[in-house]
Structure 1
Amino acid sequence: MRLATALADYLTDKSFVAVICHREPDPDCLASAVAFGTIAHWCGAETVEYFDGTRISRPQNLALIAHLDVNLRPVSELTPAEPDVLALVDHAVPGVHDGLTRDTQVDVILDHHEHDRPVTADFVDVRPEYGATATLFVEYLRELGVPVSARLASALLFALHRERLDQVRHPTRHDYLAAAAMLPLSDPATIDHLYRAGMKPTTIDAIATAIRNRRTVGSCLVSWVGPIPDREALPQTAEYLLNLQSVDTVLALGVVDDEVHLSARTVDQRVNLATVLPSVIGTAGSGGGHRDMAGGVIPAARLDTSARDGGDAAPPAVDDLGSRFCTTVERAKSAGVVAEPGPPVQVVDTAVEARSDGSNALPDAVSAGVSDDAVSPRGTPSDVHQ
């Protein structure tokens, strides 16, 4: 049985479906969440509700939410035991940047991020070899024959562009095929409107500060932007600084509330930021992402961000962190090994016996690191860690 069919079978007869986005959901997360909701409705769900960690500030993301006409409710309003299906889309670990508790039992996980440990649910489809979660959902929609509206097609196409196709992030053949499938169904005027959402003035200010505070070690650039009202300025800052001549890897850092946020980008195939950034952060915080883009968070209490002489230059502790980052990046380059895209897809489904014959069926022993606890019913303890 193919994965799309297995998911449809799992969703059949489920009345209330809750879709959980990660905090500050980007276009890939938002479009994928609504695609999942569309499939759930097609399978007979009466109610599909969407939840997130409530921090949304980037104009393009807000414009996409308005376009999709989706009501994103705070996760704090959800009682996890209420839905028939609790799904994570574009992320895979409950309690990490999503407002859930770490012991939340999840039913469905659909994601494309690389994870350093097993993730558990009744149905899991994690494909790090795909450039976007939206790509996965385009395949599901097409395989199941679910009607795709111009609104959803436009959102998925925009998500594919923003997540991969517009960036030097090595889009895969899967991503191009997904975009080609959505193009004739989408509305060009909607895509143009979403692109024109633009930058907030506070993002421009953050970029200006980052330009002043940039420090380069070889082809690695680190910059401190100081206190900012929201973290969305950081990935935009990192992407902007990556345009600097002779720079191939960037780390931007800033303080949001009581947390130090980090955003990293690279165009060097020898550098795998999904492992580099977490190793630099260590036990002080958390981090992860893709080979070419990653993010992290450190509680401010664990990193002294006191300004030097009252100015906006990077504090010594931040300088030390930046130096460790550049050193780790240079070691990765010296090793001379091109970073691989990640492990193969990990899939678990209690309704279908898994296989390992290379087909599109569920893999046999789920031996890609998912424990037997993954198929435990809701309420049964299972080992879920970050």
Structure 2
Amino acid sequence: MSTAISMASMSTYAILGCGSVGHAVAEELVDQGKDVLIIDKDEGRVEALRDQDLDARTGDIADEEVADLMDDRDVILILSSDIGANRAAVENIRERDGDQFIVVRASDPVTADELQKLGVDVVVNPSAVIADSALRALETGELEYKAEQLAEVIDDTSGKMAILAHRSPDPDSIASAVALKAIAQSRDVDADIIYEGEIGHQENRAFVNLFGIDLLARDDVSLEDYDTIALVDYAKASEPVVDRPVDIFIDHYEPEIDYDATFVDVRPNVSSTSTILTKYIQEFDINLSDEVATALLYGIRAETLDFKRDTTPADLTAAAYLYPFADHDTLEQVESPSMSPETLDVLAEAIRNRDVRGSHLVSNAGFIRDRDALSQAAQHLLNLEGITTTAVFAIADENIYLTARSKDIRMNIGNVLQDAFGGIGEVVGHSTDASVEIPLGIFTGLEGGGSNRDTLLDLTEEAVRSKLFQAMGVEGSGSESGNGS
């Protein structure tokens, strides 16, 4: 029987040791209509409890006679400040082989461990509870203060706000921008979401299209037309993205560039910028539309690999808040887009050319037009039996593009790519998901990519594979190969 089911059926309670903590618990339980028996050795305290119509009796909770009174109690809360008496009470009760649910008070982590070993169900350390409560109050106060600062910057906007998502934005960046736009609109400020590069990955394009998210290309606008500039999820940019002051900067990574923004909220202790924006949505008490809720939920899920990568309690509570408002049918469509013919061709080529060494797979997909297909191929190959790490590379636009995935908790694939190609290419990503873009001439010595496609493939093939396997710590020949080179 689960604890939740057991607790739901419990109706009789006992509180052993009724100081200020026990008294507060007793009053709450009685208000809920619970049958509560109180045992305390202080006669004056017991008399005062009786004057409040509470069922209180005098007794030393360390005595075995008190344990006899617990036979008909479902839940026992041992809350005395005398930890030795608490320990004796637990021992006496458990010696009777009862199945009562026991909550006991401890004074520090050491005594908490000792009490846990005696068979209690929950150990409460008041100092830890107070510290946790204080930290939650601090977090609430800080959020309220930051929200006031953010509101002030938004309200000072006399024209329009430009919200810049990072280059070739991912779901977290897009969702964060959508949420900030919703906050601005709730304060009667118009905002545009602006991006550079391209919307890659079929899921990202489906995300934008299904929700009708309006994105403006950076080349099609002039930032001089905007009164306020906001950067969301932009910390990984390695060079300044605007040549004017930034008003708002929000990210879950420390920025590599000091933007000296008017308002800054950087929280490395959460795993997505969407989590941060969700907290602001809550603080501003905005009427949350299903489009914004679904976008933020998707942003959190995508950034944490559906809560399997570096997920924090803040990410989970944000997702829990968004879940009832989200459009789950649309979310399923976003997460399961149809595979394009070219993606299918790239996957087939990657399967054919795979080189497997142990649980690591590296493959060359040849020449491609859709670079997004590489990430999908790497993800699909990760589903092969026995494979924990995949890397798929290909040639396009005079560059080598490589995408890697890993579910091996011992490996940080971002560090692997940095070790292998950090000196010659631009690496971005996480411990489980990373990519690198390498100028083709680095390996070939040819400008413009050369004219012989087969020669290009031959020149890059072994160099990329050997560097990758070496960085992965894998030596020797492949244990499995496709039919390609």
Bin the TM-score by the shorter chain: 0.7 to 0.9
- Structure 1 counterpart of 2:428: 288
1:141 aligns with one of 281, 284, 288: 281
Deviates more, 1:214-223 or 1:298-307: 298-307
- Structure 2 counterpart of 1:39: 183
The structural deviation recorded for 1:83 is 2.0
Q: Which amino acid aligns with 1:235?
A: S
CA–CA distance in 2 between the matches of 1:235 and 1:153? 26
Q: Which amino acid aligns with 2:147?
A: A
- Structure 1 counterpart of 2:172: 28
Distance 1:141 1:81, change over 3 A: same
Q: Which amino acid aligns with 2:442?
A: R
CA–CA distance in 2 between the matches of 1:79 and 1:180? 38
Runs of 4+ in 1 over 4 A off after TM superposition: 93-96, 100-105, 309-314
Q: Could you list the runs of 5+ residues in structure 1 that have no partner in the other structure?
A: 332-386
- Structure 2 counterpart of 1:86: 229
Distance 1:75 1:118, change over 3 A: closer
CA–CA distance in 2 between the matches of 1:247 and 1:43? 50
CA–CA distance in 2 between the matches of 1:129 and 1:220? 31
Aligned 1:207-286 pairs, distance under 5 A? 207-286=347-426
- The higher-RCO structure (CA 8 Å, 6+ apart) is 1
Q: Is the 8 A contact 2:153 2:247 kept in 1?
A: no
Q: Is the 8 A contact 1:108 1:121 kept in 2?
A: no
The structural deviation recorded for 1:93 is 4.7
- Structure 1 counterpart of 2:248: 108
1:174 aligns with one of 314, 319, 331: 314
CA–CA distance in 2 between the matches of 1:240 and 1:313? 26
- Percent identical pairs in the alignment equals 33
Larger helix proportion of the pair: 2
Alignment deviations for residues 244-278 of structure 1 (CA, whole Å, 9 cap, x no partner)? 23322222212232322221211223322333323
Deviates more, 1:156-165 or 1:224-233: 156-165
Distance 1:299 1:310, change over 3 A: closer
Q: Does 1:120 align with 2:259?
A: yes
Q: Is the 8 A contact 2:166 2:233 kept in 1?
A: yes
1:325 aligns with one of 462, 465, 468: 468
Q: Is the 8 A contact 2:443 2:459 kept in 1?
A: no
Give the count of matched residue pairs. Answer: 326
Secondary structure at 1:222's aligned position in 2?
strand
Q: Does 1:71 align with 2:214?
A: yes
CA–CA distance in 2 between the matches of 1:16 and 1:119? 24
Q: Which amino acid aligns with 1:219?
A: S
CA–CA distance in 1 between the matches of 2:318 and 2:331? 16
- Structure 1 counterpart of 2:437: 297
The structural deviation recorded for 1:32 is 1.5
Q: Which amino acid aligns with 1:200?
A: S
Distance 1:312 1:121, change over 3 A: farther
Distance 1:161 1:43, change over 3 A: same
- Structure 2 counterpart of 1:376: none
Q: Which amino acid aligns with 1:206?
A: V
The structural deviation recorded for 1:222 is 1.4
Aligned 1:366-377 pairs, distance under 5 A? none
Secondary structure at 1:315's aligned position in 2?
helix
Q: Does 1:163 align with 2:163?
A: no
- Structure 1 counterpart of 2:199: 56
- Structure 1 counterpart of 2:105: none
Distance 1:187 1:102, change over 3 A: closer
CA–CA distance in 2 between the matches of 1:199 and 1:114? 35
Q: Is the 8 A contact 2:166 2:237 kept in 1?
A: no
CA–CA distance in 2 between the matches of 1:202 and 1:64? 20
The structural deviation recorded for 1:321 is 2.6
The structural deviation recorded for 1:210 is 0.9
Alignment deviations for residues 123-167 of structure 1 (CA, whole Å, 9 cap, x no partner)? 343444433222222122112222210111122223333332537
Backbone CA RMSD of aligned residues: 3.0
Secondary structure at 1:255's aligned position in 2?
strand
Distance 1:193 1:310, change over 3 A: closer
Distance 1:218 1:192, change over 3 A: closer
Q: Which amino acid aligns with 2:224?
A: A
The structural deviation recorded for 1:286 is 0.9
Alignment deviations for residues 283-312 of structure 1 (CA, whole Å, 9 cap, x no partner)? 3221122122112212223333979x9659
Q: Is the 8 A contact 1:93 1:119 kept in 2?
A: no
CA–CA distance in 2 between the matches of 1:262 and 1:113? 23
1:13 aligns with one of 156, 159, 174: 156
- Structure 2 counterpart of 1:351: none
Q: Is the 8 A contact 1:220 1:248 kept in 2?
A: yes
Alignment deviations for residues 52-109 of structure 1 (CA, whole Å, 9 cap, x no partner)? 225235333222222332222211123233322222222325576xxx8575654333
CA–CA distance in 1 between the matches of 2:194 and 2:148? 25
Q: Is the 8 A contact 2:417 2:468 kept in 1?
A: yes
CA–CA distance in 1 between the matches of 2:342 and 2:395? 13
Q: Which amino acid aligns with 1:298?
A: I
Distance 1:121 1:69, change over 3 A: farther
Q: Is the 8 A contact 1:23 1:52 kept in 2?
A: yes
The structural deviation recorded for 1:320 is 1.9
Distance 1:197 1:107, change over 3 A: same
The structural deviation recorded for 1:314 is 5.0
